[in-house]
């Protein structure tokens, strides 16, 4: 075999995969070399997930061939893929929070050793690759970055030839991203190939050797990220010029929403209690709230939506105490929310898009007549969302579970924005969404703020918060820092604030009546 061929670890030739009514992958060919970091780029619904599922044995191609290390690669299941040297770190962690690190790792192994031996191997590998991790710590007590380390170490114990990573930095602070990149560079140096999926194009430029771009299931081309701009890659993905969100001047008006000393007990043993939360949101303003996963993001959204009620502290909306009002009554008043969990919380997986549109839109869009839901009006509202937010779906009868994560996110966010909220609170609005869709969602949030709405964006994407928010506050262990003007902060300062670092706490100022201890 020629030297150039021996350098090829994985070769895909004319892979095709079709589902009822849609061709997910059509005639896809690509090559990944040994010790290469190769990016897989594309819009939501472009076919990236289907492609890596075939490599990892979760799906079987309808046509085409795969070769791994020069041998035919057609894994019947993920176990067979792992035995061939393919490992995968998924975007959504598959960990049991009540178990410790070693126990979670053992669950993912085909033949785990004794727990003492496994714990030692975990400690050794975490030390070797700069991913410090205590094998006896309970997963519920780990940060998002540490949880990701568990997933990575579980893969590294298999000595993989190819490591597939799906949106690996979506929940990490800048400091944790730097640690991850050092690990990936070491893996590359040791000969491991990495197939890297991300919508963060500047990360792709910094990390990846080559990139393959998909669009609507077809191969568009390849590029060298280091010599290709992020905008150029984004435009290859979408097939048109990329729209950049424009932050126009908004008139900052009266206070719309006010929280004073709000305390909420942890909803479960593994939840996070909210402690003395104080914030104000005004007309035309976007408040960005950052936080590492598990520090109270879900709880603060639930306290604002009315899903969690507390008698300690107050929630005032339009100068009225709504602390004990139900989610429906808050919605009727104009306080709308979009939670992070798309399937099961924001949308019912088995229900059609029409029915999911009616789930939260019945009152404000007047979808009911004489006590009965109007299917015609609900269908029209669903179509309005689909068209306005470019939701890729055959029609409004499609079940929510059939949409890609990014397209369902566009549907959920669009559903709330088109109800003309006075205040909108969104948790992770662009998580897992491609560059063009993310720009569209951010522009829509900027537009409703310009028109006088108040917006709270809870996000782990610091670039997003820097781009669209007027003020920023950090959530750490259920405590919310005093807000600061976003333009005064650097990404590094925000990253430190997320971790509760003393150096990041704003100093009290006589000129700012709202300045107080950053973490009370």
Residues 175, 125 within the same domain: yes
Contacts of 247 (CB under 8 A, 6+ apart): 446, 467, 468
Q: Are residues 198 and 312 in the same domain?
A: no
| Alpha-carbon span 297 to 281, nearest angstrom | 17
Cβ-based neighbours of 199, under 8 Å, separated by 6 or more? 167, 432, 433, 434, 435, 438
Tell me what pLDDT residue 171 has.
67
Q: Can you tell me which residue has the tokens 């992770």? A: 428
User: What is the model's pLDDT at position 508?
Assistant: 40
Residue 440 has pLDDT above 60, yes or no: yes
Task: Give 212's Cβ-side CA count (13 Å radius).
Answer: 23
Decide if pLDDT at 323 tops 50: yes
274 & 200 share domain: no
Confidence of residue 96 (pLDDT cuts 50, 70, 90): confident
Final residue of a structural domain among 182, 212, 238: 238
pLDDT of residue 451: 92
Of 58-62, 339-343, 432-436, the one with minimum mean pLDDT is 432-436
Domain-embedded: residue 518: no
Residues 255, 281 contacting (CB under 8 angstroms) = yes
Helices 435-450 & 405-417 angle (0-180, nearest 10):
10
DSSP string, 282-312: ETT-EEEEE--TTSSHHHHHHHHHTSS--SE
What is the mean pLDDT of the segment spanning 264-289?
A: 89
**CB contact set of 27 (below 8 Å; sequence gap of 6+):** 14, 15, 16, 64, 218, 219
pLDDT tens digit sequence for 120-169:
999 998 888 888 889 999 988 887 778 888 888 888 888 899 999 988 87
- Is 355 a domain residue? no
The pLDDT score that the predictor gives to residue 513 is 39
- pLDDT bin (cut points 50, 70, 90) of residue 326 is very high
pLDDT at 373: 93
Total count of domains within the chain: 2
- Indicate if 94 and 186 belong to the same structural domain: yes
Helix residue ranges per DSSP H, 321-374: 327-333, 353-361
- Report whether pLDDT(510) > 70: no
- Inter-residue contact 471 to 288 (CB < 8 Å): yes
- Is the residue at 378 inside a domain? no
For residue 84, is it within any domain?
A: yes
Check whether 514 has a pLDDT greater than 80. no
Q: Quick one: pLDDT at residue 504?
A: 41
State how far the Cα of 223 lies from the Cα of 162, in Å rounded to an integer: 20
Which whole number is the average pLDDT over 178-195? 90
In this structure, the answer to whether residues 273 and 227 fall within a common structural domain is no
Q: Are residues 234 and 262 in the same domain?
A: no
Sheet of 218-223, strands arranged across: 71-72, 63-68, 8-19, 22-33, 218-223, 210-215, 37-42, 193-197, 162-166, 86-89
Q: Is the pLDDT of residue 113 over 90?
A: no
Task: Specify whether 23 is located in the same domain as 119.
Answer: yes
Which range has the worst mean pLDDT, 64-73, 103-112, 158-167, 387-396? Answer: 103-112
Asked if residue 159 is part of any domain, the answer here is: yes
Shared domain check, 197 and 111 = yes
Residue 2 clears pLDDT 60, i.e. is over it: no
Q: Which of 188, 209, 238 is the last residue of a domain?
A: 238
Lowest mean pLDDT across 141-155, 203-217, 334-348: 141-155
| 263 pLDDT higher than 50 | yes
84/411 Cα distance (integer angstroms): 38
CATH of residue 277: 3.40.50.300
Does 57 score more than 70 pLDDT?
yes
Using the 8-state DSSP alphabet, how is residue 401 labeled? Answer: G
Which residue spans within 202-273 are E strands per DSSP?
210-215, 218-223, 255-264
| Pair (230, 327) in one structural domain | no
Q: How far apart are alpha carbons 211 and 218 in whole angstroms?
A: 14
- The Cα–Cα gap between 425 and 281 comes to 11
Q: Terminal CA-to-CA distance of the chain, rounded, Å?
A: 66
Q: Examine the domain organization and report whether 192 and 280 are in the same domain.
A: no
298 and 440: one domain? yes
In a domain, 430, yes or no: yes
Q: Are 42 and 28 in contact (CB under 8 A)?
A: no
The per-residue pLDDT for 11 is: 95
Domain of residue 263 covers 255-348+421-504
Structure confidence at residue 62 (pLDDT): 94
Mean pLDDT for the chain?
Answer: 86
Q: HEC profile for 468-485?
A: HCCEEEEEECCEECCCEE
Query: Does 446 fall in a domain?
Result: yes
Q: Would you say residue 365 lies in a domain?
A: no
Q: What is the pLDDT of residue 501?
A: 57
Q: Are residues 208 and 233 in the same domain?
A: yes
C-alpha span between 419 and 367 (Å, rounded): 12
pLDDT tier at 296 (50, 70, 90 boundaries)? confident
């Amino acid at each position: 075999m020629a030297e150039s061929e021996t350098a090829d670890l994985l070769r895909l030739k004319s892979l095709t995969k079709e589902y009822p009514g849609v061709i997910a992958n059509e005639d896809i060919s690509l090559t990944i070399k040994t010790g290469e970091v190769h990016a897989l780029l594309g819009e939501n619904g472009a076919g990236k997930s289907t492609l890596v599922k075939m490599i990892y044995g979760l799906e079987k191609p309808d046509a085409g061939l795969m070769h791994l290390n020069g041998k035919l690669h057609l894994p019947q299941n993920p176990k067979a893929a792992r035995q061939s040297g393919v490992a995968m770190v998924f975007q959504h962690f598959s960990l049991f929070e009540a178990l410790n690190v070693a126990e979670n790792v053992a669950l993912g192994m085909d033949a785990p050793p004794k727990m003492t031996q496994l714990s030692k191997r975990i400690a050794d590998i975490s030390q070797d690759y700069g991913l410090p991790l205590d094998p006896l710590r309970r997963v519920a007590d780990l940060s998002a970055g540490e949880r990701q380390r568990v997933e990575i170490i579980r893969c590294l114990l298999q000595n993989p030839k190819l490591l597939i990573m799906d949106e690996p930095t979506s929940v990490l602070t800048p400091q944790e991203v730097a640690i991850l990149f050092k690990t990936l560079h070491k893996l590359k140096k040791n000969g491991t190939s990495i197939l890297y999926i991300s919508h963060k194009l500047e990360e792709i430029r910094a990390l990846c050797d080559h990139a393959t771009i998909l669009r609507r299931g077809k191969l568009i081309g390849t590029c060298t990220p280091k010599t290709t701009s992020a905008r150029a890659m984004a435009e290859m993905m979408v097939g048109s010029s990329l729209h950049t969100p424009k932050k126009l001047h908004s008139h900052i008006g009266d206070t719309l929403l006010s929280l004073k000393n709000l305390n909420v007990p942890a909803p479960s043993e593994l939840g996070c209690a909210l402690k003395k939360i104080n914030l104000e949101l005004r007309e035309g303003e976007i408040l960005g709230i950052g936080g590492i996963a598990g520090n109270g993001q879900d709880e603060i959204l639930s306290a604002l939506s009315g899903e969690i009620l507390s008698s300690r502290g107050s929630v005032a909306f339009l100068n009225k105490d709504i602390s004990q009002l139900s989610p429906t009554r808050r919605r009727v008043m104009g306080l709308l929310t979009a939670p992070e969990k798309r399937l099961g919380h924001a949308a019912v997986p088995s229900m059609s898009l029409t029915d999911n549109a009616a789930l939260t839109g019945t009152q404000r869009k007047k979808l009911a007549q004489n006590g009965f839901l109007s299917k015609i009006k609900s269908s029209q509202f669903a179509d309005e969302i689909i068209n306005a937010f470019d939701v890729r779906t055959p029609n409004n009868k499609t079940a929510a579970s059939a949409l890609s994560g990014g397209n369902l996110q566009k549907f959920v966010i669009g559903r709330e924005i088109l109800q003309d909220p006075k205040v909108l609170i969104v948790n992770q609005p662009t998580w897992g969404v491609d560059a063009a869709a993310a720009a569209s969602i951010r522009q829509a949030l900027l537009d409703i703020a310009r028109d006088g709405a108040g917006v709270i964006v809870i996000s782990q994407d610091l670039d997003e918060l820097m781009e669209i928010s007027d003020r920023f506050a950090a959530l750490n262990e259920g405590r919310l820092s005093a807000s600061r003007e976003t333009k005064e902060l650097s990404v590094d300062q925000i990253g430190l604030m997320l971790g509760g670092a003393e150096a990041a706490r704003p100093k009290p100022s006589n000129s700012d009546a709202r300045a107080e201890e950053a973490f009370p």
